[in-house]
Amino acid sequence: MRRHYNGLKTAALFGVLWAVLLGIGALIAAGTGSAAPLWIFAVLGVATTAYGYWNSGKIAIRSMQAYPATETQAPGLYRIVRELSVKANQPMPAIYISPTQSPNAFATGRNPKNAAVCCTEGILNILDERELRGVLGHELMHVYNRDILTSSVAAAVAGIITSVAQMMLFFGGDRRNANPLAMIAMALLAPMAASLIQLAISRTREYDADEDGAHLSDDPLALASALRKLELGVQRAPLPQDQNLVNTSHLMIANPFKSGGAAKLFATHPPMAQRIARLEKMAGRPLA
For residue 70, give the DSSP letter: P
Collect all residues with Cβ–Cβ distance below 8 Å to 252 and sequence separation of at least 6.
104, 105, 106
The strand pairing partners of 97, in sequence order, are 67, 119
Residue 187 carries which side chain, given as an amino acid letter?
A
Q: Rounded to 10 degrees, what is the CA torsion of 105, 106, 112, 113? A: -80
Edge-to-edge strand order for the sheet containing 67-68?
Answer: 67-68, 94-98, 116-120, 105-108
Cα gap 216→85, rounded to integer Å: 9
Query: What are the catalytic residues?
Result: 139
How far, rounded to the nearest angstrom, does the alpha carbon of residue 272 sit from its chain's CA centroid? Answer: 15
Is residue 187 within 8 Å of residue 173, measured between CB atoms?
no
Cα gap 257→221, rounded to integer Å: 24
How far, rounded to the nearest angstrom, does the alpha carbon of residue 236 sit from its chain's CA centroid? Answer: 22
Residue 144 region by backbone torsions, left for phi larger than 0, else alpha for psi between -120 and 50, else beta: alpha
Collect all residues with Cβ–Cβ distance below 8 Å to 209 and sequence separation of at least 6.
138, 139, 141, 142, 145, 147
Q: How many helices (H) and strands (E) does the chain have?
A: 11, 4
